[in-house]
C-alpha cells in the first residue's frame, strides 16, 4: 500500500498516519518531520530550512524532492508507505511519477478552516517522531509526555496564529490544486470527513483501505 494523505495544515494527517502505520505495519514518511529534524541539526541546510518553516512557506522543491525520493528507496518502504505532507504542489506530484514511484491510494482529509485554528492551538508534538497530540481531543497518556518514548512534548514554532494564516494561504494556492490532479488520475481517491472525532476518522480510513 503506497498511500498519500492530503489535507489542510492541521487536518489530522500526522494523527491518522500513526493509526494507519500501526495497523498496516508500513512506515510514515512525514516531510514536515524530516524538515524539522534538518532545521534542528547542525547541518549547512539547517538555517535555510528553518527560515521557510518559520515563515510558513514551502521549502523549495530542490531541497525536499531528492531527500524524499531517496527515503522511499529504503528497505522499510518495500511493502508500502504513508506519505504525510508530500506532495505539496503539482511539481512534487510529477516528481514522484518521474522517479517511478507508484501511488495506489490518496485519502483527502476534508475539514473547514475554522476547525483548524482550535486544533493547532491545542497541538503538542514529539519532535523526533512527528507524533502529535491535542490537549483536549487526543491527549497523551501522561500529560506533556510522548506515549511511546516518554519524552517531552512541545508546541511547534509554526503553530503561531500569523504563521498558521500563511500556511493556510500556501495550502490554498499550491496544495489544493492537487485534488483535481489526483481525482483525474488513475489513483484511487477518497475523501474523508476529518471534522469527526479521531476514532471515527480512522475507522472511516480503515474501511477505505481494507
Positions annotated as catalytic residues are 13, 88, 123, 156, 167
Interface residues for ligand AP5 in 168-207 (CB under 6 A)?
Answer: 196-198, 201
- For ligand AP5, the closer of residues 157 and 180 by Cβ is 157
β-sheet with 2-7: strand ranges across: 28-30, 81-84, 2-7, 105-110, 188-193
DSSP 8-class letter at 59: P
Which x/- pattern, by CB under 6 A, does the window 94-133 give for ligand AP5?
A: -------------------------x--xx--------xx
Q: In angstroms, what is the minimal distance from the CB of 208 to ligand AP5?
A: 16
Q: In angstroms, what is the minimal distance from the CB of 142 to ligand AP5?
A: 16
Closest CA to 3 of 69, 91, 77: 77
Is residue 167 involved in binding ligand AP5 (CB under 6 A)?
A: yes
Q: In angstroms, what is the minimal distance from the CB of 183 to ligand AP5?
A: 20
Closest CA to 37 of 59, 57, 17: 59
Pick left, alpha or beta for residue 19 (phi over 0 → left; psi -120 to 50 → alpha; otherwise beta): alpha
Amino acid at each position: 500500500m503506497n498511500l498519500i494523505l492530503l489535507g489542510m495544515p492541521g487536518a489530522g494527517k500526522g494523527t491518522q498516519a500513526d493509526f494507519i502505520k500501526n495497523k498496516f505495519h508500513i512506515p510514515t514518511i512525514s516531510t514536515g518531520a524530516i524538515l524539522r529534524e534538518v532545521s534542528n541539526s547542525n547541518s549547512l541546510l539547517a538555517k535555510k530550512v528553518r527560515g521557510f518553516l518559520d515563515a510558513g512557506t514551502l521549502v523549495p522543491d530542490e531541497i525536499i524532492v531528492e531527500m524524499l525520493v531517496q527515503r522511499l528507496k529504503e528497505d522499510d518502504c518495500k511493502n508500502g508507505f504513508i506519505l504525510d505532507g508530500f506532495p505539496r504542489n503539482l511539481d512534487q506530484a510529477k516528481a514522484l511519477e518521474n522517479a517511478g514511484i507508484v501511488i495506489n491510494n490518496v485519502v483527502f482529509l476534508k475539514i473547514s478552516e475554522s476547525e483548524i485554528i482550535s486544533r493547532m492551538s491545542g497541538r503538542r508534538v514529539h519532535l523526533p517522531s512527528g507524533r502529535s497530540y491535542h490537549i483536549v481531543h487526543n491527549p497523551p497518556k501522561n500529560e506533556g509526555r510522548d506515549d511511546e518514548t516518554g519524552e517531552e512534548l512541545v508546541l511547534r514554532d509554526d503553530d503561531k496564529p500569523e504563521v498558521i494564516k500563511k500556511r493556510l494561504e500556501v495550502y490554498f494556492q499550491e496544495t489544493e490544486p492537487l485534488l483535481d490532479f489526483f481525482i483525474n488520475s488513475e489513483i484511487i481517491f477518497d475523501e474523508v470527513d476529518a471534522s469527526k472525532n479521531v476514532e471515527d476518522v480512522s475507522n472511516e480510513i480503515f474501511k477505505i483501505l481494507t
